[in-house]
Structure 1
Amino acid sequence: MSSSSLHYTPNLRDIEFNLFEFLDIGRTSLGKAPFGDLDETAARQMLETFSQLCTQELAKSFDEAEHNPPKLVNGEVKLPPGIKAAMGAFYDAGMHLLEVPTHLDGLGAPPSLGWAAFELLLGSNPSLAFYTLGNLLARVIDRLGTDEQKKRFLPHCLERRWSGSMVLTEPDAGSDVGAARTKARQVDGDLWEIEGVKRFITNGESDIAENIIHMVLARPDGAAPGTKGLSLFVVPKFWVNEDGSMGEHNNVVCTKLEKKMGLKGSVTCELTFGDGKPTRGLLLGNVHDGIRQMFHIIENARMAVGLKSMAALSAGYFRALSFAKDRLQGSDLAKARDKTAPRVPILQHPDVRRMLMAQKAHAEGMRALCLFTASTQDQVELQGGHRSTAAGEADVLNDMLLPLVKGYCSEKAYELLSLSLQVHGGSGYLTDYPLEQYIRDQKIDSLYEGTTHIQALDLLMRKVARDGGATLQGLLSRIRETVEGEEGGPELKTERAALGEALGHLETMLGTLMGKLGESVYHVGFQGNRVLAAVAETVIGWLLVRHAAVAMDRMKTNPGDKAFYGGKVASARWYCHEVLPGIAHAARMVEHGNLDLMDVPEESF
């Protein structure tokens, strides 16, 4: 098979299980203000229609950029035709309007439904997802812009399918955003001139849209050092006049196109602002609050990266499962000495089943984590929105879950995609199959939008520390309720016990680490990734046990779907037996952790 030919099999059934059977968004979110009037029937139909579009149309462009990559020609990036055709199909289907508020003529879908649909796009061709950023930026301008800025950008940004980019990184300021040196000089009111060079900018330049809206972090003249001195500017590729009409080129120039290991259909470039003539931008909201404003975009991007990794693993699992069903190799292991025994599909071999279940359980667990987080975002919006007092509890829970989604999913998916390839044997190493591209396209996920360790530091030093661990303890209390309750009945007693043991070891681990902080913050540096993984795996184990309880109940009323529900129970049991016991080992590693490595001389490395 070619790597693009029908490469993507979405797990629409599990998406629907999460949304409608477990999270029950038809009751909790759909049709409730501020969301639009979509009901469960319409939501299911929308997902089915979009799933077909993704598998039959968008997935065709999956490997096109491998053979015909974007090209930089006289400062403009030319995209391969298949990418442009796929995005045209996406917009023609109206999918860009799914989460757009109803007052902007969108469908006003809740985040849970929006992220579920986004998984389908990511699975079909992850590069395409980055060309939809203009839709998010329109919502950011709607929320944070001045009335004049909204009038200038919003109708046209959506109606004319403008693209967008988030512009933070500089050649000497990567993860250390506060070291940025791009300058801003005020001209008048909210009008500024921007000068500097930005690097690793996703979707910074392309010919897919007539205009690109860049959200640029820059430091106004005389502003404080560090992140607090940065402001956020709306900088269009072509200037946008007050009436929304397009003006002249705004001197935002692509000066380099990066050559990458994977994700080649997504343009990553260097942008130069204000070289030779001014580049104009508008101060977002006409307030100097850049890093907080940019986090509206960053947090969305981190969620998207976690989903991208989960979608890649899910796609890899289905490819491996299909191969394992078709590939005949060797006899049944129990009949290995019988030379007359027939060959069997490799799905019959225990080690292949082990690899497949590891992928299945983790993919379902990551999806559970992602959509549980998305449903928390539903609650934030239902209770007044980000930073509203009423939404405070849901807001801080969402903040705490995001580093788990981004950090854990991106690390674990890369590890497990190697099993997707391994099931294929030597064939998986060939470009005839999509696995090697899945791996190359996914690896970036643990690097951009904050590396895995940055996610660990964010979890422990910001999200947990800021309220003394109250939000984390609240979540762990919910897990303990499941452990001590009867959810799933006697059939899940063993799994609830395993979850309880993991929870106890996690609490010990957290207490140990907090105690060691008095000695040195380096303990967080050494153990942070391990703790992030343990928190994520405990939460995932909790969700999978609860999924299994729902599945067991549904089997009684819907026996026709017994295979799916049985698979949900099998995933939970495998995860509790194979993954959760590892948290005890992680706790011991934290307990016995030391700082010896900091004393090793640099010359000895």
Structure 2
Amino acid sequence: DLTQTEKFADFDQEMFEMTLDLTKQICEEHVLGCYQEVDSEGGAQFDKGSVKIPHQYHGIHKIMNEAGLFTMGVSPESGGQGMPYTICMASYEYYSFHMGFMLYPEATAGAAHLIDAFGTDRQKKLYMEKMYAQEWGGTMCLTEADAGSDVGALKTKAVRQPDGTFKISGAKIFITSGENDLFKNMVHPVLARIEGDPVGTKGISIFIVPKYRVKEDGSLGELNDVHCTGIEHKMGLKGSATCSMSFGDNGDCIGELLGEERQGMKIMFQMMNEARLGMGLQGSSTASVSYLHALAYAKERVQGKNIKDMMNPDAQNVPIIQHPDVRRMLMYMKSHAEGLRALVYLCSLCLDKAHASSGDEVDKWSGIMDFLIPVCKSYGTDMGFKVTELGIQCFGGYGFCNDYPMHQFMRDMKIASLYEGTNGIQALDLVARKLGAKNGAVFMNYLAEMNKTFDAYKGDARLADMSKDVKEYIDLMAAMGMYFASCGKEGKFMIPITNAYPFLNMVGCISLAWLHLWMAGVAEEKLQAIYKAKGIDPTDKKAIIALPSEDKEVAFYQGKVFSAEYYIKNVLPTAKSYAEAIKKEDMSLMKINDASFACGENL
């Protein structure tokens, strides 16, 4: 229990529940209503170097900021509440499907955190405080036209000045919130290479570059030769201004070093890891909202007879939730939405445990979190997208129409597998860096946590069968980790590299199965207590099946158990197909000549 630790001793469950109730209320009253409206009105608009964001965002931002929702996880020393990150993620889940809006405050908080972690006291006073207060905005200026995933190829230059500042020159693209009318000033952390520093990532530094220069008393000065040259026209997230930014067109863009020289990549990854966990949350949040819309529609849409009454000419048509194929889609959506949520919360819990622990426990929990970040980002966003696709399918033809937001959920979701490092890069990160971290100790620690759950429930008659299945796949994951290690020793380096993405999906699939078993175990304990309190015999299946119709708590916990059963029996087996394919060591994708990918006169 985090509240039993010194770091979080000032909090209790009542405070957490009040916070979540508040965020839920704000979402229902202010965020949901404008979601489709912003998209249909065209989103952010660019005009002669300026960007106007959707007018609805100004009001939402003010309400959420006044409620303190953007500084929940910020330390009290920096002006926040210092809540556990797990509670922050649970709160933000209500809004993260509307990432077109959330990127404005989230990018700002992320940039402020960089200054909080690496800035001088002066920089914190001048920039960080106003950014945490959401008076000034923030970005991360990383990507260039010829330096996207290959950050080391960037061309933005920093020239040292006699007063210790730097003149910045270069152009960046795909900069979220780079220009807008929400904030009084924008503070851009910009990756650049100091003149004379080595090529590649080792020569990169990071600089604080404000839109308006900031005087020593904190007031705004003159414009800083920073210009927005346009915004992207995107398939989704239309409310978010994705900007092209130009620095130093007139030779007068001043920046100041953040942290130490040539440490830009290290500093940037502080923000990147937070953002990647946020993308996993976007996957969970969007999957959840798509599922809930599909569920509501399936309960009210009447179409066709129940399959049991197909031959009865007098049978009434029924809601489509009674049709097996619709139930299949809903169970897939439900089990993935709940599993992805658990994965995000697990990553957040690891971070909280690392912050609240000491000694070896810090390394253990931070290591597990680092291992899971690429899984959470990649598997979370890919499966989140898959859930939104099924959401459209549940609506039939109406899902393809503008009457409902289902297609927008899918359009907005797609970007999450691309930004903050593509999912292919996440897979390479997992295999090349995280799997063998600390000589494999991190991976073994994660497996040990999974096995603890198996040990807890293997003797429970209600969960023994699911426990056995999950244990089989935990062992499979361990074996595949060892297999990749042996490939490295045998010089077969391309086997792990070419199969990094399937391996990550295998880890994600097995991780969700483990988390489902964990949730089912908790749910079963709750159910047994409820049955006992109601005087119901746990073996009376008829009474137990009927109980959810009259008791929402029972409905919730039984839903958790059935969700786990569905996932473990129907989805988990796909992990074995990943492992079997990997071990075939097929290299056809590397052997094929580039010219053989397509043949024809016009190709």
Q: Which residue is 1:56 aligned to? A: 29
C-alpha displacement of 1:160: 5.4
Report if the CA contact (8 A) 2:180-2:241 is conserved.
yes
Corresponding residue SS for 1:215: strand
Matched, 1:496 2:467: yes
Identity of aligned residues (%): 35
User: Superposition pairs for residues 192-231 of structure 1, below 5 Å?
Assistant: 192-231=166-205
Q: Distance in 1 between matches of 2:482 and 2:527?
A: 40
C-alpha displacement of 1:298: 0.5
Give the residue type in structure 2 aligned to 1:602.
D
In structure 2, do the counterparts of structure 1 residues 350 and 27 end up closer, same or farther at CA, with 3 Å as the change threshold? farther
Q: For 2:319, which of 335, 345, 349 is the aligned residue?
A: 345
Matched, 1:297 2:281: no
Corresponding residue SS for 2:94: helix
C-alpha displacement of 1:189: 5.4
Corresponding residue SS for 2:419: coil
Q: Which residue is 2:568 aligned to? A: 576
Q: Which residue is 1:458 aligned to? A: 429
Matched, 1:543 2:535: no
Report if the CA contact (8 A) 1:508-1:587 is conserved.
no
C-alpha displacement of 1:399: 0.7
User: Superposition pairs for residues 88-487 of structure 1, below 5 Å?
Assistant: 88-123=62-97, 125-132=98-105, 133-159=107-133, 161-188=135-162, 190-383=164-357, 391-486=362-457
In structure 2, do the counterparts of structure 1 residues 556 and 148 end up closer, same or farther at CA, with 3 Å as the change threshold? same
Give the residue type in structure 1 aligned to 2:562.
A
Q: Which residue is 2:589 aligned to? A: 597
C-alpha displacement of 1:419: 0.9
Q: Distance in 2 between matches of 1:553 and 1:255?
A: 58
C-alpha displacement of 1:421: 0.9
Give the residue type in structure 2 aligned to 1:104.
S
C-alpha displacement of 1:143: 1.8
Matched, 1:67 2:41: yes
Once the two structures are superposed, residues 257-315 of structure 1 have per-residue CA deviations (whole angstroms, 9 ceiling, x without a partner) of: 11111111111011000001311111013543111011111011101111001100000
Give the residue type in structure 1 aligned to 2:463.
L
Corresponding residue SS for 2:290: helix
C-alpha displacement of 1:39: 2.1
Q: Which residue is 2:499 aligned to? A: 527
Once the two structures are superposed, residues 39-71 of structure 1 have per-residue CA deviations (whole angstroms, 9 ceiling, x without a partner) of: 221111011011110111122221214323211
Once the two structures are superposed, residues 516-537 of structure 1 have per-residue CA deviations (whole angstroms, 9 ceiling, x without a partner) of: 3434332223211111011112
Q: Which residue is 2:545 aligned to? A: none
Corresponding residue SS for 2:161: strand
Corresponding residue SS for 1:150: helix
Q: Give ranges in structure 2 of 5+ residues lacking alignment.
A: 532-550, 598-603
Corresponding residue SS for 2:504: helix
Q: Distance in 2 between matches of 1:154 and 1:301?
A: 18
In structure 2, do the counterparts of structure 1 residues 399 and 105 end up closer, same or farther at CA, with 3 Å as the change threshold? same
In structure 2, do the counterparts of structure 1 residues 439 and 168 end up closer, same or farther at CA, with 3 Å as the change threshold? same
Give the residue type in structure 1 aligned to 2:517.
V
Report if the CA contact (8 A) 2:231-2:244 is conserved.
yes
Corresponding residue SS for 1:540: helix
Once the two structures are superposed, residues 94-126 of structure 1 have per-residue CA deviations (whole angstroms, 9 ceiling, x without a partner) of: 212212211233211111111111111213x22
Q: Which residue is 1:39 aligned to? A: 12
Corresponding residue SS for 1:231: strand
In structure 2, do the counterparts of structure 1 residues 288 and 389 end up closer, same or farther at CA, with 3 Å as the change threshold? farther
Q: Which residue is 1:567 aligned to? A: 559
C-alpha displacement of 1:487: 5.7
Q: Which residue is 2:527 aligned to? A: 555
Corresponding residue SS for 1:337: coil
Corresponding residue SS for 2:255: strand
Report if the CA contact (8 A) 1:218-1:233 is conserved.
yes
C-alpha displacement of 1:26: 4.1
C-alpha displacement of 1:190: 4.4
Report if the CA contact (8 A) 2:42-2:238 is conserved.
no
Number of residues of Structure 1 aligned to a counterpart in Structure 2: 574
Q: Which residue is 2:482 aligned to? A: 511
Q: Distance in 2 between matches of 1:159 and 1:594?
A: 54
Q: Distance in 2 between matches of 1:374 and 1:188?
A: 44
C-alpha displacement of 1:129: 1.2
> Which deviates further from its counterpart, 501-510 or 301-310?
501-510
In structure 2, do the counterparts of structure 1 residues 570 and 418 end up closer, same or farther at CA, with 3 Å as the change threshold? same
Q: Distance in 2 between matches of 1:558 and 1:282?
A: 61
Report if the CA contact (8 A) 1:548-1:572 is conserved.
yes
Give the residue type in structure 1 aligned to 2:591.
D
Give the residue type in structure 1 aligned to 2:331.
M
Q: For 1:78, which of 52, 65, 71 is the aligned residue?
A: 52
C-alpha displacement of 1:456: 0.6
Q: Which residue is 2:541 aligned to? A: none
> Which deviates further from its counterpart, 163-172 or 411-420?
411-420
Report if the CA contact (8 A) 1:163-1:213 is conserved.
yes
Report if the CA contact (8 A) 1:498-1:581 is conserved.
no
Q: Distance in 1 between matches of 2:582 and 2:355?
A: 38
Report if the CA contact (8 A) 1:66-1:264 is conserved.
no
TM (normalized to structure 2)? Answer: 0.92
Corresponding residue SS for 1:68: coil
Q: Distance in 2 between matches of 1:563 and 1:235?
A: 53
Q: Which residue is 1:5 aligned to? A: none
In structure 2, do the counterparts of structure 1 residues 65 and 420 end up closer, same or farther at CA, with 3 Å as the change threshold? closer
Report if the CA contact (8 A) 2:138-2:188 is conserved.
yes
Report if the CA contact (8 A) 1:230-1:291 is conserved.
yes
In structure 2, do the counterparts of structure 1 residues 596 and 487 end up closer, same or farther at CA, with 3 Å as the change threshold? closer
In structure 2, do the counterparts of structure 1 residues 549 and 601 end up closer, same or farther at CA, with 3 Å as the change threshold? same
Report if the CA contact (8 A) 1:145-1:284 is conserved.
yes
Once the two structures are superposed, residues 487-538 of structure 1 have per-residue CA deviations (whole angstroms, 9 ceiling, x without a partner) of: 6711001100110121232233333333334343322232111110111121
C-alpha displacement of 1:136: 2.7
Once the two structures are superposed, residues 167-214 of structure 1 have per-residue CA deviations (whole angstroms, 9 ceiling, x without a partner) of: 100000010011111000111454111100001111111111101111
In structure 2, do the counterparts of structure 1 residues 434 and 285 end up closer, same or farther at CA, with 3 Å as the change threshold? same
C-alpha displacement of 1:398: 1.0
Give the residue type in structure 1 aligned to 2:506.
A
Report if the CA contact (8 A) 1:112-1:375 is conserved.
yes
Give the residue type in structure 1 aligned to 2:378.
G
